[in-house]
């Protein structure tokens, strides 16, 4: 018997059994991935270089000390500076890829593009290995609010492991989650529709005990539980206080962070916040003055809220884009102070779920142009996330044609690795 993507149930169970047999003991239950769609500038966020001069740091010349001695971050992130003890910064991320699609694929799978197979992203792998433990009606892999669109998130695992993209905007008066909230239709009207459908359902009364009809009824009940029951209320931000919503920021990103907290509180294994707006080829610093305070407010509130609720120790927060941006500012027309794509060196941030806080791993050179110390490759970081979730990084993935495929790549596959992130594990 096969699953919808061609993987047999026997192969799936064998893979799961192998994973359990070699799996480390889990410290984390969930992941909130803040995906910086387009690529954030490392010099303006978590790897400032004021000594490099205006051609590199532009007008952002005053990085600020954090609450951890010796760590400075960008001047537009004062709230996150107060929370540095909760997170660690990887300042030597590298892969050398400068195209959005191929870089996104590498950061989210750990593998170079162009091979025989399209491998699944971290979210799909977590849904595969952790989904059975999760009992919610909402799928285990959720994206707020739209898919990244750069690659197939589920890869060869197939459509069953694609993320549930909510659509809508959590900053609106009502978060119109696709398939849960129908715009313009009240809950009362939805309930009336359901009652009317039940009255029309004479077939089920005529054929009591029919297994196919019973399965259809169960599916319908689950759908309506999402729409009208407790399951769908996870997206209802009116249940939160106005003060807390204000702390996150009354914008799409801030309210997405709040929804993500509510989802992991309900046990969702993997939530991606697809945070667009970082592909700043032109007028970069004008955009940073708008976007970085928004990011600062939403992320710092998320760290604080998770910590206060006792969720940070079981929730990994992973902040990264597909690459960084050129350290040297492009002042000339038509860029007018822009930054281009840059995969040679960039930053990532991790917190919670067993990751140590208050650490810096690796370093870039004086101008942020090269890795100076301790290169970290996407596969290294992905393996660390899997380890904390209790997924063996060497576990086998069920391949639809039976080919050998592992959760993370090995050096034998031609992927460059920097080694286990023992500094923060």
Taking only the tens place, the pLDDT of each residue in 42-66 is: 999 999 999 999 999 999 999 999 9
Q: Does residue 202 have a pLDDT over 70?
A: no
Spatial distance between the Cα atoms of 411 and 142, rounded to a whole number of angstroms: 31
Q: Does residue 307 have a pLDDT over 80?
A: yes
For 162-172, what is the mean pLDDT?
95
Q: Which two tokens stand for residue 392?
A: 């063996």
pTM above 0.85, yes or no: yes
DSSP code of 396? B
Predicted pLDDT of residue 272:
98
Counting residues of the chain whose pLDDT is more than 90, the rounded percentage is 75
Spatial distance between the Cα atoms of 197 and 190, rounded to a whole number of angstroms: 11
**Smallest Cα–Cα separation from 37: which of 111, 90, 99, 100?**
100
**Smallest Cα–Cα separation from 315: which of 323, 324, 307, 325?**
307
Residues of 119-133 as b/e, b for ≥16 C-beta within 10 angstroms? bbbbbbbbbbbbbee
Q: Which two tokens stand for residue 265?
A: 């509180």
Predicted pLDDT of residue 201:
58
Q: For residue 164, give Cα distances in angstroms to 100, 161, 170, 259, 332.
A: 22, 9, 15, 14, 42
Spatial distance between the Cα atoms of 379 and 293, rounded to a whole number of angstroms: 30
Question: Which residues of 300-418 form beta strands (DSSP E)?
Answer: 315-320, 324-325, 341-342, 346-351, 359-361, 363-364, 371-373
**Smallest Cα–Cα separation from 230: which of 145, 167, 137?**
137
Among the residue ranges 19-28, 151-160, 331-340, the one predicted with the least confidence is 19-28
Predicted pLDDT of residue 42:
98
Predicted pLDDT of residue 205:
55
More confident: 328 or 178: 328
**Smallest Cα–Cα separation from 151: which of 183, 124, 180?**
124
Map out the domains of the chain as residue ranges. Answer: 9-175+236-413
Residue listed under structure tokens 């590199």: 56
CATH of 9-175+236-413, one of 3.40.720.10, 3.40.50.880, 3.40.800.10, 3.40.50.300: 3.40.720.10
């Amino acid at each position: 018997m096969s699953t919808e993507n061609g993987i047999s149930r026997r192969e799936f169970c064998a893979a799961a059994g192998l994973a359990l047999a070699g799996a480390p003991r889990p410290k984390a239950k969930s992941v909130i991935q803040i995906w910086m769609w387009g690529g954030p500038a490392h010099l303006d966020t978590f790897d400032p270089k004021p000594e490099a001069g205006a051609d590199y740091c532009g007008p952002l010349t005053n990085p600020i000390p954090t609450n951890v001695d010796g760590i400075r971050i960008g001047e537009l992130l004062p709230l996150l500076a107060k929370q540095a003890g909760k997170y660690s910064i990887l300042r030597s991320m590298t892969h050398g890829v400068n195209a959005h699609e191929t870089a996104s694929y590498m950061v989210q799978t750990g593998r170079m593009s162009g091979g025989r197979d399209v491998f699944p992203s971290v979210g799909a792998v977590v849904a595969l290995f952790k989904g059975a433990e999760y009992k919610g009606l909402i799928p285990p892999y959720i994206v707020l609010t739209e898919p990244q669109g750069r690659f197939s998130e589920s890869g060869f695992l197939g459509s069953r492991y694609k993320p549930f993209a909510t659509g809508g905007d959590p900053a609106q008066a009502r978060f119109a989650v696709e398939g849960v909230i129908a715009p313009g239709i009240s809950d009362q009207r939805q309930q009336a529709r359901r009652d009317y459908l039940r009255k029309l359902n004479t077939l089920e009364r005529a054929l009591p005990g029919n297994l196919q009809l019973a399965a259809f009824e169960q599916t319908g009940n689950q759908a309506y539980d999402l729409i009208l029951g407790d399951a769908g209320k996870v997206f209802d931000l009116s249940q939160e206080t106005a003060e807390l919503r204000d702390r996150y920021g009354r914008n799409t990103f801030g309210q997405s962070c709040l929804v993500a907290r509510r989802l992991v509180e309900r046990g969702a294994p993997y939530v991606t916040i697809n945070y667009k707006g970082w592909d700043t080829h032109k007028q970069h610093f004008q955009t940073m003055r708008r976007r970085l305070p928004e990011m600062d407010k939403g992320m710092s509130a998320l760290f604080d809220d998770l910590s206060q609720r006792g969720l940070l120790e079981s929730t990994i927060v992973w902040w990264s884009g597909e690459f960084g941006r050129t350290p040297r500012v492009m002042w000339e027309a038509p860029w007018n102070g822009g930054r281009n794509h840059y995969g040679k060196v960039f930053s990532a941030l991790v917190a919670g779920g067993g990751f140590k806080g208050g650490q810096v791993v690796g370093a870039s050179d004086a101008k942020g142009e090269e890795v100076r110390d301790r290169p970290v490759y996407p596969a290294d970081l992905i393996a660390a996330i899997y380890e904390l979730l209790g997924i063996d990084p060497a576990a086998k993935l069920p391949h639809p044609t039976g080919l050998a495929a592992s959760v993370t790549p090995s050096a034998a596959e031609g992927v460059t690795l920097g080694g286990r992130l023992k500094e923060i594990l």
